[in-house]
């Protein structure tokens, strides 16, 4: 018998297609799971709208739910409900441990250039806050590039949105 708990557990095993150290549940993109008569309804909220991983995530969820013996209906919710604040504490720790600096908490009014140019960002390798913004944009829409002046290592910083 498929239950919402089993679905959540199954979705927590699906890695993010671009940053496979964290799962879709860690990433906070699964907003709700409802099970009714063997049908599973998942509310899925995209991260960045242009992210090519979205289709991969949607298909992976449908396939995993099918393995549980249920029919999946993945509803893509295009509202404002996803923010980097939805990444779980476990997800943040996994990001840091694999060399991605996790996003800083969102402040009122959203991120600003003076913040990005400040020392509020910690190097995921040595822990120093002596880091500088190299490029607002990085290898995927969700990342910026910073440089650690202490250990002289460039690193990827998850953008706060």
Partner 1 sequence: MNAPGLLELADDELVLGWRDSEWTGIAPFLEEDVAFSSIAQNEIGHARALYELAARELGTTADELAFDREPSEYLSAPLVELRLVPDWAGTIARHYLYETADAIRIEALKQDGNAEVAGLAAKIDREEVYHRMHAEMWVDRLGAEPRLREALERLWPYALGLLDEELRPAFAKRVGMPADTAPVARGTHTEELVPLWEEMTEVRRSVPGATW
CB of 73 to partner 1, least distance (A): 17
Which residues are CB-neighbours of 108 under 8 A, at least 6 positions away?
A: none
Angle between helix 4-11 and 53-67 (nearest 10): 130
By CB under 8 A, what part of segment 122-161 binds partner 1?
A: 134-141, 145, 159, 161
Alpha-carbon distance of 2 to 66, in angstroms, equals: 10
Q: Does 36 bind partner 1 (CB under 8 A)?
A: no
Alpha-carbon distance of 44 to 74, in angstroms, equals: 7
By CB under 8 A, what part of segment 61-80 binds partner 1?
A: 78-80
112, 120, 127, 150: residue in contact with partner 1 (rule CB under 8 A)? 112
Q: Does 110 bind partner 1 (CB under 8 A)?
A: yes
111, 147, 153, 154: residue in contact with partner 1 (rule CB under 8 A)? 111
In 3-70 the beta strands, taken as DSSP E runs, fall at 30-36, 39-44
Which residues would be at the binding site for partner 1 (CB under 8 A)? 48-52, 78-83, 110-113, 116, 134-141, 145, 159, 161
């Amino acid at each position: 018998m498929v239950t919402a708990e089993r679905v959540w557990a199954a979705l927590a095993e699906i890695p993010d297609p671009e940053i496979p150290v964290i799962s879709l549940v860690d990433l906070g993109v699964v907003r709700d799971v409802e099970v009714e008569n063997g049908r599973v309804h998942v509310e899925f909220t995209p991260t960045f709208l242009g992210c090519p991983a979205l289709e991969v995530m949607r298909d992976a969820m449908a396939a995993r739910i099918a393995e549980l013996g249920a029919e999946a209906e993945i509803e893509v919710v295009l509202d404002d409900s996803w923010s980097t604040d939805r990444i779980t504490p476990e997800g943040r720790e996994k990001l840091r441990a694999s060399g991605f600096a996790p996003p800083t908490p969102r402040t009122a009014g959203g991120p600003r250039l003076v913040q990005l140019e400040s020392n509020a960002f910690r190097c995921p390798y040595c822990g120093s806050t002596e880091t500088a913004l190299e490029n607002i944009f990085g290898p995927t829409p969700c990342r910026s590039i910073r440089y650690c002046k202490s250990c002289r290592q460039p690193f990827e910083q998850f953008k706060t949105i």
